[in-house]
């Protein structure tokens, strides 16, 4: 949706037509807890799988773009970003021209003038819409589809995770201090000022802060560097004390809870040029009662009023990758209220982003399950009334947290890096007061 180039105009046009419909649907369909939401539900049953993969041919897309329900979604999406409705007759004429050009090329190497037919249709459907979406949410949302097989963690993320999992930060481990030192060093390298609080009380709480880099607003991230015991190590299929990459998954104790999300975010931050102000709270006793965090976080968080509070991770359904979007506005005494309008806008953008990976989204209005364990999560407990809370990240429901063969899917890493980009731009826009 964001680009069309001469030598790839057919591919870019097809991607753009899929993206325009996917993004328009994401920006306009309801944000209510319940069934999963997928843009390809707009399509006939025999079109849905290819639609999900952005692989429908142009003549099929032409028929789809004729349907009233589809036209309504496209127009609503345009209105949502301040554009007028499409001229659907002009769109159909442009489809006809682009289809003739494509057929001629395939049949006998005939063509128009270097993709001009494709560009004509692209201009109508994708051009101004893609620019408006990019202005609102950044270019990531409208970019090309990402095949899951090509969605793999960056070398930087894998290196960080390999290092993190090598520290024994289980309850009786000896790697906590070294892990804190390493985290502090990495965060300082990213421009954070770092403090480690509560040495005298237990495993220290890392409090890191970085000033804004080109974007308004403030995000508070939460995480933890301790892990649960290794359990019966001989029962693991892979060594639990070192990272293994196998069959698209990352295995070691703590990869899912919470070292994988930490590594992913560290690598993503290093690659992002712009970010709002960031505060990162990383505790070391989440698996053993969070004594230090319970004692210190209320004070640390008392005066923070960020645009968004971002929890340690989030989940996908392991069967089909469906993104669980846990977003809420905090009420009194930890009550979960519906997301306020700006947060609703972010949730819509995030499910639009997920459609690049061919996955649906499901909205839930709660915190992660740690909320309901005895003592609760010190981070979630200290969230102020009115806080915008989001749990999103790299985990899936097959992660076996605390169990044998704890693991993470690798494909979620690039998605979460892209999510951070969308989140940060949304924060900048929301805090900056833009509509």
Partner 1 sequence: MPEITRAQRALFDEQGHIVVGSLVPPEQVARLRHAFEEQAAAWAAEIDTPLDDYLSVVSQWTNVWEHNAVFRAQMFHQRAAAVAAELIGCERVRVFHDHLIVKPPHGGDTIPWHRDLPNWPVAEPRAVSCWLALDDVTAEAGAMRFMPGGHKEPMTRSIDFLNEAKTWGPRENDAVAVPVPAGSAIFHHCLSWHTSPPNATAGWRRAYITIYMDAACTFDAARAGWHPMSGRVTVPPGAVFNEDAFPTLGPDLPAAALARALGGAA
> How far is the C-alpha of 114 from the C-alpha of 112, rounded, in Å?
6
- Span from 52-60, 116-124, 131-139, 183-191 in contact with partner 1 (CB under 8 A): 116-124
Query: Could you tell me the maximum CA-CA distance found in the chain, to the nearest angstrom?
Result: 78
CA dihedral sign, ordered 417, 435, 323, 369: positive
Of 104 and 295, the one with the shorter C-beta distance to partner 1 is 104
**Nearest approach, Cβ of residue 16 and partner 1 (Å):** 12
Q: 244-246 and 395-396 as β-strands: parallel, antiparallel, unpaired?
A: unpaired
> How far is the C-alpha of 430 from the C-alpha of 435, rounded, in Å?
8
- Which two tokens mark 28? 């306009």
**Nearest approach, Cβ of residue 289 and partner 1 (Å):** 58
Of 116 and 344, the one with the shorter C-beta distance to partner 1 is 116
Of 7 and 374, the one with the shorter C-beta distance to partner 1 is 7
- Span from 72-80, 99-107, 167-175, 351-359 in contact with partner 1 (CB under 8 A): 99-107
Q: Are 208 and 280 in contact (CB under 8 A)?
A: yes
**Nearest approach, Cβ of residue 1 and partner 1 (Å):** 15
Residue 131 as a binder of partner 1 (CB under 8 A): the answer is no
Nearest to 173 by CA among 51, 318, 288, 71: 288
- Span from 17-25, 95-103, 133-141, 157-165 in contact with partner 1 (CB under 8 A): 95-103
- Span from 104-112, 243-251, 266-274, 355-363 in contact with partner 1 (CB under 8 A): 104-112
Of 100 and 335, the one with the shorter C-beta distance to partner 1 is 100
Residue 101 as a binder of partner 1 (CB under 8 A): the answer is yes
> How far is the C-alpha of 146 from the C-alpha of 144, rounded, in Å?
6
Q: Which of 100, 271, 372, 434 binds partner 1 (CB under 8 A)?
A: 100
Residue 407 three-state SS: strand
- Which two tokens mark 146? 């990402």
Q: Are 383 and 389 in contact (CB under 8 A)?
A: yes
Residue 316 three-state SS: strand
Residue 109 as a binder of partner 1 (CB under 8 A): the answer is yes
Of 11 and 288, the one with the shorter C-beta distance to partner 1 is 11
> How far is the C-alpha of 397 from the C-alpha of 409, rounded, in Å?
10
- Span from 110-118, 125-133, 186-194, 315-323 in contact with partner 1 (CB under 8 A): 110-118
Residues 6+ apart with CB under 8 A from 20: 1, 74, 77, 125, 126, 129, 130
Encoded one letter per residue, x for contact with partner 1 by CB under 8 A and - for no contact, window 52-91 reads ----------------------------------------
Residues 6+ apart with CB under 8 A from 289: 375
- Which two tokens mark 105? 């090329």
Q: Quickly tell me which residue has 């340690």 as its tokens.
A: 312
Q: Which of 116, 154, 288, 344 binds partner 1 (CB under 8 A)?
A: 116
How many residues bind partner 1 (CB under 8 A)? The answer is 24
Residue 155 as a binder of partner 1 (CB under 8 A): the answer is no
2-61 residues near partner 1, rule: CB under 8 A: 4-9
Q: Which of 53, 97, 245, 270 binds partner 1 (CB under 8 A)?
A: 97
**Nearest approach, Cβ of residue 15 and partner 1 (Å):** 15
- Span from 27-35, 98-106, 154-162, 179-187 in contact with partner 1 (CB under 8 A): 98-106
Residue 107 as a binder of partner 1 (CB under 8 A): the answer is yes
CB atoms within 10 A of CB 335: 10
Residue 165 three-state SS: helix
216-255 residues near partner 1, rule: CB under 8 A: none
SS3 string, 228-278, reads CCCCCHHHCCCCCCCCEEECCEEECCCHHHHHHHHHHHHHHHHHCCCEEEE
Q: Which stretches of the chain bind partner 1, using CB under 8 A?
A: 4-9, 96-97, 100-101, 103-104, 107-117, 119
């Amino acid at each position: 949706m964001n680009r069309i180039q001469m030598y790839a105009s057919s591919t870019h046009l097809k991607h753009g037509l899929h993206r325009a419909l996917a993004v328009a649907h994401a920006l306009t369909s309801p944000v209510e807890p319940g069934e999963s939401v997928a843009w390809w539900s707009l399509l006939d049953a025999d079109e849905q799988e290819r639609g999900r993969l952005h692989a429908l041919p142009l003549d099929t897309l032409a028929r789809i773009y004729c349907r009233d329900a589809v036209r309504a979604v496209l127009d609503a999406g345009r209105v949502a970003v301040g554009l007028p409705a499409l001229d659907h007759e002009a769109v159909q004429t442009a489809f006809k021209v682009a289809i003739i050009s494509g057929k001629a090329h395939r049949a006998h190497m005939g063509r128009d003038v270097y993709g001009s037919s494709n560009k004509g249709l692209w201009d109508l459907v994708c051009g101004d819409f893609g620019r408006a979406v990019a202005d609102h949410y950044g270019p990531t949302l409208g970019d090309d589809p990402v095949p899951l097989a090509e969605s793999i963690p960056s070398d930087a993320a894998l290196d960080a995770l390999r290092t993190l999992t090598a520290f024994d930060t289980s309850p009786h481990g000896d790697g906590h201090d070294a892990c804190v030192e390493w985290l502090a060093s990495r965060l300082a390298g990213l421009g954070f000022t770092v403090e480690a609080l509560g040495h005298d009380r237990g495993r220290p709480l890392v409090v890191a802060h970085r000033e804004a880099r080109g974007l308004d607003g403030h995000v508070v991230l939460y995480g933890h560097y301790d892990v649960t015991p290794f359990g019966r190590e001989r029962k693991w299929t892979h060594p639990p004390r070192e990272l293994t990459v196998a069959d698209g998954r990352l295995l070691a104790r703590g990869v899912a809870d919470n070292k994988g999300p930490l590594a992913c975010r560290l690598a993503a931050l290093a690659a992002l040029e712009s970010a709002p102000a960031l505060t990162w709270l990383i505790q070391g006793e989440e698996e053993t009662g969070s004594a230090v965090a319970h004692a210190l976080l209320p004070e640390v968080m008392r005066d923070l009023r960020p645009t968004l509070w971002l929890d340690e991770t989030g989940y996908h359904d392991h069967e089909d990758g469906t993104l669980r979007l846990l977003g809420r506005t905090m009420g009194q005494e930890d009550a979960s209220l519906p997301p306020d309008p700006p947060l609703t806008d972010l949730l819509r953008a995030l499910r639009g982003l997920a459609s690049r990976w061919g996955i649906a989204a499901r909205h839930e209005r709660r915190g992660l399950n740690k909320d309901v364990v005895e003592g609760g999560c010190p981070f979630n407990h200290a969230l102020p009334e009115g806080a915008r809370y989001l749990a999103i990240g790299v985990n899936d429901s097959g992660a076996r947290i605390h169990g044998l063969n704890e693991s993470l899917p690798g494909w979620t890493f690039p998605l979460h890096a892209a999510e951070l980009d969308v989140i940060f731009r949304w924060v900048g826009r929301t805090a900056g007061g833009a509509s």
